[in-house]
Amino acid sequence: MTGVVPPTIERPKTVIGVGMREMVILGIGLVIAMLVVISPISLILKVGFAVLVMGLAALLALGRAPTTGKTFEEHFIDIIRFYSRGRFLQRGTSGESELRKAVEEPAYSAADIEKVFEKQAEKGVVKVKPLPLNWSGLFGVVSFAFLAALLVWIWGGGLRELLLTFGIQ
């Protein structure tokens, strides 16, 4: 045995449990959307902003990073940790002496490998597929809010008014 420990490969989670965290985020989004609905702005803006707020709340609550399966908070903390870490261009420039073992010990014995890959049951009452927590998910939410506002504008007579100004009936 060479003493080299192979990297562990985490299987991506296919479902997430909807627990208290998700319900709190969705509840806050619903309250903000209701405040937008009762505000004194036009109906088109009300619908657009309410759909945008609820979509962003759903994306934050149910979204997971596609490569790691981490929530928004975990992913954001990783980004902050990455930018606040000390940077070293090469080994030995930190000023501290490195203490290294001659041979690294494996993190798991051969009998424990199967236990690492056992499927862990997700907590929560309802299990749903996660939303993509990336730019495409954000673009989808913004597009859906724009389409909802456009449909309300068409339903409210905006299209008819526009066509009448050009003489099209």
137, 59 Cβ separation under 8 angstroms: yes
Of 75 and 50, the structure prediction assigns the larger pLDDT to: 50
Mean pLDDT calculated for residue range 70-84: 87
32, 53 Cβ separation under 8 angstroms: yes
Residue 159 has a pLDDT of 82
Which stretch of DSSP H or E encloses residue 17?
strand 16-18
Residue 139 has a pLDDT of 93
**Distance from C-alpha of 167 to C-alpha of 132, rounded to nearest angstrom:** 45
Mean pLDDT calculated for residue range 128-149: 88
Residue 106 has a pLDDT of 63
Of 83 and 117, the structure prediction assigns the larger pLDDT to: 83
Mean pLDDT calculated for residue range 91-103: 60
pTM over 0.85: no
Query: Which of 44-53, 95-104, 152-161 is most confident?
Result: 44-53
Mean pLDDT calculated for residue range 72-81: 88
Residue 37 has a pLDDT of 93
CA distances from 18 to 13, 25, 79 (A): 14, 11, 25
